Structures are given as structure tokens and as C-alpha cells.
Chains A and B, each alone.
Chain A
Amino acid sequence: MKRRSPYPYWFVLPAAVVFVTLFLLPTVASFWFSLTRWDLFDAEFIGWDNYRQFFREPFLVQGLVNTLIYAFVTSGAKTVLGLLLAVLLTGGIWMQGFLRSVVFFPVLVSTIGVGITFAALMHPTKGVINLGLGLVGLHGPAWLSDPALALYSVALIDIWKGVGLATLIYIAGLAAISSEYYEASRIDGATRWQQFWRVTVPLVRPATVTVVTLSLISGLRSFDVIWATTRGGPGFSSDVLASVIYKQYQAGFYGLATAGNVILFLLITIIILPLTWWFNKREIDL
């Protein structure tokens, strides 16, 4: 007689029921509903019309472009600044533990609260940032109300809030590098600069993979900071896919909103899967 496993599959059941009903099912259904005109009760099949509209309306296309800009700017900055901060904060400097906490704390704070605070700090005439720049004789820009700048200003807030997580991951990555590598390279006469490029950067790779992947995914999906500061404005200058989806949903265009969701899903898949594959492939080469 076959003994029953002490690890029964029904242990997976509660989690599976919740995940399948509230995550997988809506995701699968979104492909169908994106091809319909839909009011939550009746769905009328209209083929690719929602997608055609998405790529024809200039402001929707701009939302798509902005999403890419936003994700790559925030992810790039978090990766570079995170590594530099982590190197600085593992060098045994004075008040190191306190500084780590200070850099990390914004990660845990409400995004809406941060957004409102920075909207006040970035006020074009009364804001602390521009008053401070004025003190040193610089004329600060209209951070959030200049259409050419708004998206980058929001990205700046996002970087401020998120760089602590990248730093934390890099600190953990740096701690895993054996000090022997640094000693050996110093005996060989390597400078600090060479050590950074030849030892730190290659050996901290697993952390880099995590930071890049995490920050790209969250950047592509970003909604809170934008909604708390500009709500996609002025005009549509700082709209991203997530805010476009919300606006179409509010306006009652459920089919179009769902098409936006599918596009976001495809965009993330197209960017993240090859990236992960490439990262893993390089790992084997090493």
C-alpha cells in the first residue's frame, strides 16, 4: 500500500483559491474584455478598436512613452545612487548606522504623504527648494507645473523615496563579498578606483540584478507618486500608463482601461523577461 504523503496538496488550496480567483482569473479575463465595449454588465465585442484607439490618441501614446522614460530614469538613478551610497555607508564612516536609517526611512513612509510634501517644497514661487536656490543666486524652475519638466520632477521624488531600498539591497550584496578580494587586489597595487570597477561592481552583480529588476517593475507600474503630485498634468505631460488606466476607468471606458492594462502587462513582460534571461545567461559565463 502506498503511504500518503505527510505534505498533502490541500495545504496549497486556500492560497490557490484566493490567488486564482482574484488574480489569475481577472488577468486572463482582461484579454477578452480589452476587445470589448464594456459597462461591467454587458460586453460587446469590437475587435481591436480599443487598441487602435490607444495608439491613435496622442495623449495615450504619450502616456506609453512617459511610462518608459519614467521607469528607465528612476531605475537607472536608483541603481547608480544606491550602489554609491552603499559603498559610502559600508566604508566605516562616522555615524554609519544612523545614516543608513536616514536614507532608508522614506521607503516606509506613505507615498501620498511624500507626494503632498514635495508638491509644497517644489512650489514655483513659495516652495522651499526654489527659495533655497534663490539664496545661492539660482533661479529655480517651475518643477511640477512646467509641462517639459513635470515628469522628471515626479521621477525625482520617486528616486528620493526609493533609493533607500536600492541602498539596502546593495549593502547586503557588498557584505557578501569576501574581504580577501580587496586585500589581494591591494597587494597587487590596485587603486581605490580600480578596486571599485574590477572587484566591487562585478561581484555585487546579484544585488544589481535585484535592484534593476525590482525598480524597473515598480517604475513601469508607478501610480501613487504621480497621482499625489500632478495627476498626470499639466495637460497630459506627466501621464503614465497606470494613470491613463485610472482616468479611463473613472470616465467609464472599461474596455479601453482594460486594453491599457493589457498593454502595461505586455510592456513589463517584454522588458523584464529578456532582461532576466540575459542576467541569468551572463551568470553562467562567469
Chain B
Amino acid sequence: MSLRRNMARQRNIGIVALIFASVIFILPFVYIFLMAVKTKQEAALFLFSWPQQWQFWQNLVDVVKTRNYMLLLAYFNSTVITVGAVAMLVIFGAMVGYVLQRRPSGWNRVIYGCILIGLMVPPAVVPTIWVLQGLGLFKSIYGMILIQVAYGLAFSVLLYRSFISTIPRDLDEAAIIDGATPWQVFFRVILPLLKPVTVTLIVVQSIAIFNDFTNPLYYLPGKENVTVQLTLFNFQSQFQSQFNLLFMNILLVTIPPLLVFIFFNRQIVAGMTAGAVKG
């Protein structure tokens, strides 16, 4: 009796929550989609309404063609930056996390200090531009990749360090006795075992770097260097009267994270809550 009443109650709360969540969290996305498929005139009304005339394909083609296929270039640049930076974050981060966890020494305090600084301190933008210019890396994709590595390292090292502590040292020692060099122990024995946390790191950092707006704005100016988030920002002024195209562009940048979210939900949750329980 009471159990059934309790279940009915849970169900009712669920329905109410579902309605609220739909209005607050889902409707904005529905709105993006509806605006993206409308005609120019209809989109200018800003209404939350069913499109009188569907123009999905044409809007898509128009957005892609804008400014001489700028969006395609932007997707290419963003992909290169994301893949390059994440690859380095995985290797460099795992190497530091490994030594940090396995070899206690006075240097560890220095490394922990750097991690704290890296997580907390806002980057000093203009002096960074000055350094990049000195190295010939300002306005260059390579410079942008290294910046993303520098800013993402702290999180990467922390994630790897805590995971490596669950891998028994016996494995390292067995490999060493078999005559493996430190290089071989790490790349042949340890790194393959880090796969679960590596997948988490790849997913979380990819989304962060792909969505990054501020850093390309500062360090990667120039038409040929445009990234996905910057096209959106540039089109904001260009499409003042073409909100259908602006929202089609928003739809296009929303789909990659949606796909990643559907396929890697578990890894994202693991990455985002790392350290939440232990503090």
C-alpha cells in the first residue's frame, strides 16, 4: 500500500520536474533549432513558433558558403588545435603524473605549487603575447596549441596522478627486472593501463578546447586563423539581419558536443567529478 503510494509520489515529482526542466533547459535548444530552419523574415520576429516555411538545407548551405567557406576553415583549424593540444596533454600530463606519484621528493612540492597556480591564476594575457611574439609563435596555430597545453596541464596531471596511484608498483618492478628502460616501462606498461582515464581526459579537454573563445581571441587573430567559436562571434555582427543563419551556425557548433555527450556520457561525468568526493 504505502510502497505503491510512494512510487506514485516519486512519479508525480518526476513529472513536475520534467515539465520545469523542459521549459528551462530544453526549450532554448528547441528555439535554436526552430530559428535555424526559418526564413530570414520569419526569424527576425524572434518568435517561438513552428516555421511556416522550412529552409533547413538552404540555410545550412548559406552558412557554410559565407565569407568564402570560412566555417570549413574554422572547423579545420579548431580540429587541428584540439587534436594537437589533447595529444600533448595526454603524453606530457601522464609523464608528470607518473613521476609525481612514483618518486616522492622535494620537487613534488614545487610541482604541486605549479598545479595550484595553473588551476587558479588567470593567464597574464599581454605578457603572454609578448612571449609568443619573441618565440615567433604569435598568430600561429602551433602557438595556440602550446597555449592550450600550458593551460590544461594542471588538470591533466592531477587526473593522471590520482589514477596512477591505483596501479600497483609491482608491475613497474617486474618490467625493470626484465631489463626494461624507464622509457619502455612507461610507454609499454603504464600508459596502456591508463586508457580509461585517458579517454576521460581526451573527451573533457576536447570539449573545453573546442569551445574555447577567449584564448583564440587574444592569441590567434587573423582571418586565416579563425576558429569555430570566433566565426560565431564574427557572424554575430555580420548576420544582424539574418538570424536564421546565425542560429544555423549555433546549431552546427552545438552538434559536436551533443554527439560526444551521447557517446561518452560516463567518461565526461568521471572527468568532471574527479576530486569532488575527496575534496
Bound together: yes
Contact in complex: B121, A268 (CB < 8 Å) = yes
Q: How far is the CA of A101 from the CA of B15 in the complex (A)?
A: 16
- Inter-subunit contact B125/A249 (CB<8 Å): yes
Tell me whether chain A's interface is mostly helix, strand or loop, or mixed.
Answer: helix
Which residue of chain A has its CB nearest to the CB of B101? A7
Contact B14 A95 (CB under 8 A): yes
Which B residues are in CB contact (< 8 Å) with A207?
276-277
Q: Is B51 among interface residues, defined by CB-CB distance under 8 A?
A: no
Q: Which of B32, B45, B123, B157 contacts A23 (CB 8 A)?
A: B123
Smallest Cβ distance from B6 to chain A, in angstroms?
9
Q: Chain B interface residue count: which class? A: 35 or more
Least Cβ distance of A167 to chain B in Å? Answer: 10
| B79 at the binding interface (Cβ < 8 Å) | no
Does any Cβ of A come within 8 Å of B72's Cβ?
Answer: no
| A residues less than 8 Å from B275 (CB atoms) | 210
Classify chain A's interface size. Answer: 35 or more
Q: How far does the Cβ of B279 sit from chain A's closest Cβ, in whole Å?
A: 4
Which residues on A sit within 8 Å (CB–CB) of B14?
Answer: 93-96, 99
A interface with B by C-beta (< 8 Å): 5-9, 11-12, 14-16, 18-19, 21-27, 29-30, 33, 38, 40, 88-89, 91-96, 98-99, 101-103, 105-114, 116-118, 120-121, 123, 126-128, 131, 160, 165, 168-169, 171-173, 176, 205-207, 209-210, 217, 220-221, 223-224, 227-228, 242, 245-246, 249, 254, 257-258, 261-262, 264-265, 268-269, 272, 279, 283
Assuming A24-B117, A113-B32, A261-B124, what are 20 further A-B pairs, CB within 8 angstroms?
A: A19-B153, A22-B146, A22-B147, A23-B118, A30-B124, A33-B126, A38-B126, A91-B10, A91-B13, A99-B17, A99-B21, A102-B25, A110-B228, A112-B232, A112-B233, A113-B253, A116-B236, A116-B246, A206-B278, A206-B279
- Which 7 A-B pairs rank lowest in CB-CB distance, beginning with the nearest? A94-B14, A30-B124, A206-B279, A26-B127, A93-B14, A172-B273, A22-B150
